[in-house]
Amino acid sequence: MNARKAHVFGAAIAGLLLSSCGGEMPSAKAGGGATAPDFTLPSLDGKQVRLSDYKGNSVVLIDFWSTTCDPCMIEMPHLVDLYKKHKDRGFVVLAVSADGPESRAQVSSVVRSKDMIFPVLLDEETVVTARYNPKRELPFTVLISKDGSIVHKRGGYTAGDEKTLSAEVEKALAE
Amino acid sequence: MSSSSRRAAAALAVTLGSLAIAPAASALDLPGPAGEPIGLDVTNTTVVDYRWDNRNHDPRAFNPRPIVDDDYGEWINRLNVQATWWRFRVGVRLDSALYYLTTTRTEAQVIAQKQIDAVKQADPNAQVPQTIDYANRFYNELNTRFLNSIYPAKLYVGYNQPGLDVTIGDFYAQLGRGLVLSVRKIDELAIDTTIRGGKVVFDKKLGPARIGATLLAGQMNPLRFDEVSGRRLHGAGSPLFFGFPDAKPATTYAINGQPIVAEPRPSYLEDTIFGGRVEGGIDAVQFAANASVLMRKSFTEENLACKNACPTGDSTCVDRCYAQFPEFTVLPGGRSHNQIRTFSGSVNVPSIAGIGDLYVEVAGQQLRDGHVGAIDAQGMATERQADVSGYAVYANANFGLGKLQLSLEAKHNRKFFPLGSNIDVTTPGYSAPEYSVVAYSAPPTAEPIYIEPIESPNVCMTGGRATANFKYSEHTSVYGWLGRYRSWTEVPTNDLCQSMDDQFRTDTWDTAVGVDMSREQGKSHARAWIGMRLAERAVPTLGTRAPGETDVLYYEGYIRYDLVKHIKGPFSLQLQGFHRNRYLPATHGRVWNEGENYTALHWSPHLSAVFGYEYSTRPGCQPELAGEDEFKVVLCHYLSGGLTYRSGSTDTWASRLVNTVNLFVGQRRGAIRCVSGVCRLFPPFEGARLEIVSRF
């Protein structure tokens, strides 16, 4: 099949399939979203952190960020505040750094200067980033309910977005 | 618009329309075997653009490349589907490219003739090529560009359980801090290389200690079409890359109009890699050993033997030899050897008395099986690139002393080369020069990421950088850095580090100071820094474009900023940009300025409107206006506008279908963008670009 025909055929099939599936799809999770794929990453303090260790106990916010991403730096103090506010209710932030060789050296000093008191994970290979955020948009947040399902995904940050995120976190904690 | 383009557009409209009217949905977990749900994650990125004249063509230069990049459109789509069930995962990414209204061969001939006529009319004594020769350059250029394609770019299956992760198919990988191996997605450079093969990661806790190992093997899988240039990369037909696009025969014309059809040739000979890591330690200190062996395909002996057997002057025979035994122009450094062994050992101390951390990595490199230059009558190599051995040392330490954060980096490299890809960047009709940046390692840098390296500074260099950040108050920090580097490979004739003589030595100072403030509960923010970089030759030289002798290799002064002011409620205003004053006497005889400012009005959480202004006085920024005199200052302007919409959720089908939309209309200047010392030249863009990201 040549590429042009494939484009036309593929687009039409996708359109028909998606339009026909409509309605609500079966959900196995109370949180309402797909199951969050499990992963293990090294943390900045030398430990290994596994997502599934939090299942059943915590609402987890995975924040994909990097030291070279300006909006990530602006958003970070809001995440710190959010974490401080809700950590006693079982809220956890996992800040996954996508810094590669070009900026990995800056991670720990940024973590200290931004008072990032939650676990900071290192995804230098971008393996987990690719799994959750194939487009590698930064910042990118994924909110996971206590039962391990994804309830919210959001790419980018502009001033004021923290209100929306805070509302999502409170909703997830209340469920 | 052609009928096929109309069909494509109609199909796109059907897709978008159908999805927009679909009712709300809440999940993409499907029932699976054994009571375990199947998690489905679909991300689709569609880019539709149209480009008009980007003003990068010099009407006196007979180069088709900056002509065919005008007045065409493309539809790029990347469909990423991942499914997870229990401990298993499977994924595929289908990439496709469809080009419309591109320069046809007939149009190319007309353009070639018009340009020749115009040059002759302006100056009857001007040197111009034969029309057919110039038209053939167009045909060669078009042979690897704007080719409609669809192929399974990434495929994988994986298994994950505590302590074990196995991937078969495509995966990203890094060993150490990138000295030994680093293949990652680097959007800034439009690079997305994976390894297609197998990877096993093992990890076990033994009391307070932990041990781990990684083994990987496979062939390198760079992207096969380049969104920026529309160029397609053609492999040599490795069975691992089934369904990938094949090279086309190159058709040019003789002076008598007879077609000359050359056999298809690849532009990429698949590189193979084996690598691994063993690591162990306790939380307080961790040790690791990394190794990789990069093996290149080489047909040099066969190619030379085949050509030697051809009758003198039989170009068809020679062409057949190249098609059967592809041979690329050998680039210096890491591309001149067929086997590169790189290995390293590292120590990581994540916490020093709770106030700091330390990382040290020492690496060695052996370049072996050098490229063959000549063979004897028996087909044995009589000339070969000599073996090269080198090493690199990298150290990074961070300390937090109350309000002061200190970061120190040091590096010392000798004949340590990047793992370059085996890609043809020169052969007319087949090459893919835009892919020359594809490399499989990324040495950690001690410099700001936006620095544009000159030649290959990291091959032989010693240097370091200290960065300090002082938190004056909870919402205000001041920071600065100072870097000092000495390199012997920034001068072109010594890019292999053949000599450590002072005539090749360059000394660089890099410094900046800045401030970071937030106000109004973090809703308003200001970050700005001013910096300078000066690279000087140890021995002043003649022969640059500077008048007389100069010891300046490069100078730059700059200011960069990112300012956000909260207006009211969900509204805020952002100014982001930089302004640079630059001087590079090796290529430009005068200082130039360039910069950009983007002003955005944000309406959280969904909308942003952006107005952009860029400028440049770089010689040649708009060749048509520059004339012959490079000292004449021409100010090039670039204006643009954009809209960004983010749905901010995945609650409904509509918000999933149109999760993020970016519309850009206008102009963007050509620029070099760098990440970790790897730089790519992006040509200027003038046109409209729509990107839609869908997430399900």
Query: Domains along chain A?
Result: 27-174 (3.40.30.10)
Please state, in angstroms and rounded to a whole number, the distance separating the CA atoms of residues B653 and B680.
38
Q: What is the pLDDT of residue B542?
A: 82
Q: Which pLDDT band holds residue A9 (cuts at 50, 70, 90)?
A: very low
* Whether the predicted pLDDT of A2 surpasses 90: no
Q: Residue range B527-538: average pLDDT?
A: 95
Q: Given a cut of 60, is residue B409 above it in pLDDT?
A: yes
Q: What is the DSSP string of B94-121?
A: EEEEEEESPPPHHHHHHHHHHHHHHHHH
Mean pLDDT score, B294-298: 91
Looking at per-residue pLDDT, the higher value among B534 and B590 belongs to: B534
Q: Which residues of A touch B28 (CB under 8 A)?
A: 25, 33-34
State percent of chain B over pLDDT 70: 94
**What are A45-54's pLDDT values in tens digits?**
888 899 999 9
Which pairs from B211-214 meet CB under 8 Å and 24+ separation? B211/B278, B211/B279, B211/B280, B212/B277, B212/B278, B212/B279, B212/B280, B213/B276, B213/B277, B213/B278, B213/B279, B214/B173, B214/B175, B214/B275, B214/B276, B214/B277
Q: Lowest-confidence range among B95-109, B315-329, B518-532?
A: B315-329
Query: Can you say how many angstroms the Cα of residue B62 is from the centroid of all Cα atoms in its chain?
Result: 27
Name chain B contacts of A151, Cβ cutoff 8 Å: none
> How high is the pLDDT of residue B331?
67
Q: Residue B677: its pLDDT value, please?
A: 61
B386-B387-B392 Cα angle (round to 5): 135
Report, as an integer, the average pLDDT of A37-59.
91
Mean pLDDT across chain B, nearest whole number? 88
Amino acid at residue number B87? R
Count of C-beta atoms within a 10 Å radius of residue A107: 24
A9 chain-B contacts, CB cut-off 8 A: 11
Q: Which pLDDT does position A153 carry in this prediction?
A: 87
- Determine which of B150, B465, B560, B676 to mutate to test the interface with A (most A C-beta atoms within 10 Å): B150
Measure the CA–CA gap between A172 and A58, rounded to whole angstroms.
Answer: 10
Q: How far is CA B121 from the centre of its chain?
A: 41
pLDDT in tens, B467-508: 999 999 889 999 999 999 999 998 878 878 889 999 999 999
pLDDT digits (tens, 9 = 90+) for B162-192: 899 999 999 999 999 999 999 988 877 778 9
Q: Judge: B527–A108 Cβ closer than 8 Å, yes or no.
A: no
Considering only CB atoms, B25 lies closest to which of A24, A38, A152, namely: A24
A31 vs A27: CA distance, rounded Å: 9
Amino acid at B272: T
Contacts of B133 (CB under 8 A, 6+ apart): none
pLDDT over 90 (residue B13): no
- CB contact (8 A) between residue A161 and residue B28: no
Q: Which residues of chain A does B444 touch, with a Cβ-Cβ cutoff of 8 Å?
A: 101-102, 104-105
Average pLDDT over residues B530-545: 90
| Average pLDDT for A30-48 | 81
CA-based end-to-end distance of chain A? 49
Among the listed residues B133, B132, B143, B274, the one whose alpha carbon sits nearest the alpha carbon of residue B215 = B274
Across A3-21, average pLDDT: 43
Of A165, A79, A15, the C-alpha closest to B649 is A165
Would you call B333 helix, strand, or coil by DSSP? helix
Contact B497, B489 (CB under 8 A): yes
Residues B166, B214 contacting (CB under 8 angstroms):
no
What is the C-alpha to C-alpha distance for residues B271 and B224, in angstroms, rounded to an integer? 14
Q: Which of B7, B29, B80 sits opposite A27 (nearest CB)?
A: B29
- pLDDT of B446: 66
A3 to chain B, closest Cα gap in Å:
5
In angstroms, the CA B635 to CA B557 distance is 19
- In the three-class reduction of DSSP (H, G, I as helix; E, B as strand; rest coil), residue B632 is classed as coil
* Partners of residue B248 in chain A, C-beta under 8 Å: none
Q: Give CA–CA dist B601/B636, Å, rounded.
A: 25
Q: Which among A35, A103, A130 has the least Cβ separation from residue B185?
A: A130
Question: What pLDDT, on the 0 to 100 scale, is given for residue A8?
Answer: 47
- pLDDT at position B365, please? 97
Whether pLDDT at A29 is above 60: no
3-state secondary structure labels for all residues of B334-394? HHCEEEEEEEEEEEEEEEECCCEEEEEEEEEEEEEEECEEEECCCCCEEEECCCEEEEEEE
Tokens representing residue A79 in the block = 């995440």
Interface probe with A: pick from B232, B398, B479, most Cβ of A within 10 Å: B398
Prediction pTM value: 0.89
Instruction: List helix spans (H) across chain A.
Output: 3-21, 70-86, 107-113, 127-132, 161-174
**What is the residue whose two structure tokens read 């500074």?**
B457
The two three-digit tokens of residue B158, written as one number: 């994986």
DSSP B225: B
Query: Could you tell me if B413 and B236 are in contact, meaning their C-beta atoms sit under 8 angstroms apart?
Result: no
What single string gives the DSSP state of each residue in B396-458?
EEEEEETTEEEEEEEEEEES----B--B--S-TTT--GGGGG-BS-----SS-TT----S-TT
Work out the percent of chain B whose per-residue pLDDT is above 90: 57
Contact status, residue B88 vs residue B82, Cβ threshold 8 Å: no
Contact B176, B363 (CB under 8 A): yes
CB-based contact B446 A105, cutoff 8 Å: yes
CA distance A6 to chain B (A): 7
Cβ(A66)–Cβ(B187) below 8 Å: no
Locate B651 and state its tokens.
Answer: 């609650």
The pLDDT score that the predictor gives to residue B502 is 93
Say if B445 is an interface residue toward chain A (CB within 8 Å): yes
Q: What is the ipTM of this complex?
A: 0.87
Mean pLDDT of all residues in chain A? 82
CB A51 within 8 A of CB A135: no
Evaluate whether B64 touches B83 at the Cβ level (below 8 Å): no
What's the CA gap between B523 and B167, in Å, rounded?
43
DSSP A104-147: GGGHHHHHHHTT--S-EEE-TT-HHHHHH-TT--SSEEEEE-TT
* C-alpha–C-alpha distance, residues B505 and B208, integer Å: 48
- What confidence category does residue A1 fall into, taking pLDDT thresholds of 50, 70 and 90? very low
- Residues of B (379-408) whose Cβ lies below 8 Å from A: 396, 398, 400, 405-407
Tokens of B395: 């150290």
Which two three-digit tokens encode residue B473? 């108050």
Q: What is the pLDDT of residues A91-133, one digit of tens each?
A: 999 999 999 888 899 899 899 888 999 999 999 998 899 889 8
Q: Take residue B133 and report the two structure tokens written for it.
A: 């020769």
Question: Whole-angstrom distance between the N-terminal and C-terminal Cα of chain B?
Answer: 32
pLDDT attached to residue B313: 84
Torsion of CA B194, B41, B13, B640, to 10 degrees: -60
Chain A residues in contact with B208 (beta carbon < 8 A)? none
Q: What is the pLDDT of residues B599-610, one digit of tens each?
A: 999 998 899 999
What is the rounded distance in angstroms from the CA atom of residue B465 to the CA atom of residue B641? Answer: 38
Candidate from A77, A78, A100 with C-beta closest to B676: A100
Number of A to B CB contacts under 8 A, please give it: 289
Q: How far is B444 from chain A (nearest CA, A)?
A: 4
Taking alpha carbons only, the member of B619, B621, B623, B617 closest to residue B61 is: B623
- Is B156 in CB contact (< 8 Å) with chain A? no
